[in-house]
């Protein structure tokens, strides 16, 4: 007579998915496993670093707001004679405090010394800015940013063909600091020779090919009497945009909230699985290990 069929006690379970377990008697909560501890540390670093980056961007935003307000206040002031604010001995530090100061100056153009600055933009169109010395009659001159010429106009072959008019003119504009040649990577102007096109409105470099001594700043032309005609087109004043830093601020704080809330959700779910006796860790070594 055949006896009742018996089941092997040690048969392997055939169910798939998370394995039931009971870590509650093992003395160590699953959230204290090494893989979870690493996760806790990484999330903690994120929750500290992201808000710090957000606060840094907020500080930059406030700084840019202050710069924009100061720039706007300077540009709104009445223009003063150039000689009252700019002399040959102005230092770089002093030039930074004079930037955007409205000025007016009279002189004659050194048309044969005009150069074109590459890679300039006006309303989304790339072209050239024309830079020319305005001779002041005392052996000095000031480099003037006359304005923009498009690449497909009469300046396409030779941007400097748009020469300024002869005779005495009165230029109104604002001061801008001299450009500088990059120290490392970046387009540089040749140290030697006479340049007709440049990458930078570098007063020191262009002073080497000017008959008059150039003053240490550039006048950004906004109007001229008498006019030169439709070209070049005066470039508008630069407008700082602090909203970019504000956007970065909001992004860093949003990332912080997403990480914090998301990780809290994961922790709650893992605690619930542990309470139900289910090992839901994705690490196969931990999942397959018998907690007994």
Structure tokens at 99: 């930037």
Own/partner long-range contacts of 161-166 (Cβ < 8 Å, ≥24 apart): 162/130, 162/228, 162/231, 162/232, 163/109, 163/111, 163/114, 164/109, 164/111, 164/114, 164/132, 164/228, 165/109, 165/226, 165/228, 166/108, 166/109, 166/111
pLDDT on residue 280: 59
3-class SS string, 75-87 = HCCCCEEHHHHCC
pLDDT on residue 66: 84
Taking 50 as the pLDDT cut, the residues of the chain under it are 1-2, 5-26, 155, 283-292
pLDDT on residue 9: 46
pLDDT on residue 57: 92
pLDDT on residue 134: 97
Q: List the domain boundaries for the chain.
A: 19-58+244-288, 101-181+192-236
What torsion, rounded to 10 degrees, do the Cα atoms 197, 200, 201, 204 define? -100
d(CA 179, CA 229): 27
pLDDT on residue 289: 47
Per DSSP, 160 falls in state: G
pLDDT on residue 257: 93
pLDDT on residue 69: 83
**How do 115-122 and 125-135 pair as beta strands?**
antiparallel
Nearest 5°: the CA angle 286, 276, 16 is 55
Phi, psi of 52 (to 5 degrees): -65, -40
Determine whether 243 is exposed, middle or buried from the number of CB atoms within 10 Å of its CB (0-12, 13-18, 19+): exposed
pLDDT on residue 90: 92
CATH architecture of 101-181+192-236: Beta Barrel (2.40)
Own/partner long-range contacts of 2-11 (Cβ < 8 Å, ≥24 apart): none
């Amino acid at each position: 007579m055949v006896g009742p069929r018996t089941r092997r006690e040690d048969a392997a379970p055939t169910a798939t998915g998370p394995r039931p377990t009971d870590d509650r008697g093992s003395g160590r909560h699953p959230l204290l496993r090494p893989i979870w501890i690493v996760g806790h540390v990484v999330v903690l670093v994120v929750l500290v670093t992201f808000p710090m980056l957000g606060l840094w961007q907020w500080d930059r935003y406030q700084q840019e707001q202050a710069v924009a307000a100061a720039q706007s206040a300077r540009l709104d002031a009445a223009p003063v004679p150039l000689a009252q604010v700019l002399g040959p001995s102005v230092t770089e530090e002093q030039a930074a405090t004079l930037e955007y100061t409205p000025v007016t100056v009279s002189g004659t153009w050194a048309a044969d010394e005009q150069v074109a600055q590459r890679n300039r933009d006006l309303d989304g169109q790339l072209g050239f800015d024309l830079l020319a010395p305005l001779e002041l009659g005392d052996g000095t001159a000031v480099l003037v940013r006359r304005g923009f010429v498009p690449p497909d106009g009469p300046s396409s072959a030779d941007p400097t063909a748009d020469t300024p008019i002869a005779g005495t003119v009165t230029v109104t504009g604002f001061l801008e600091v001299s450009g500088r040649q990059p120290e490392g990577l970046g387009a540089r102007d040749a140290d030697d020779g006479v340049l007709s096109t440049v990458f930078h409105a570098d007063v020191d470099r262009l002073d080497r090919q000017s008959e008059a001594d150039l003053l240490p700043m550039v006048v950004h032309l906004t109007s001229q009497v008498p006019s030169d005609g439709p070209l070049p087109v005066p470039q508008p004043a630069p407008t700082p945009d602090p909203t970019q830093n504000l956007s970065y601020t909001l992004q860093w704080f949003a990332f912080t909230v997403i990480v914090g809330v998301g990780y809290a959700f994961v922790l709650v779910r893992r605690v619930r699985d542990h309470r139900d006796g289910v090992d839901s860790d994705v690490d196969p070594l931990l999942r397959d290990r018998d907690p007994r």
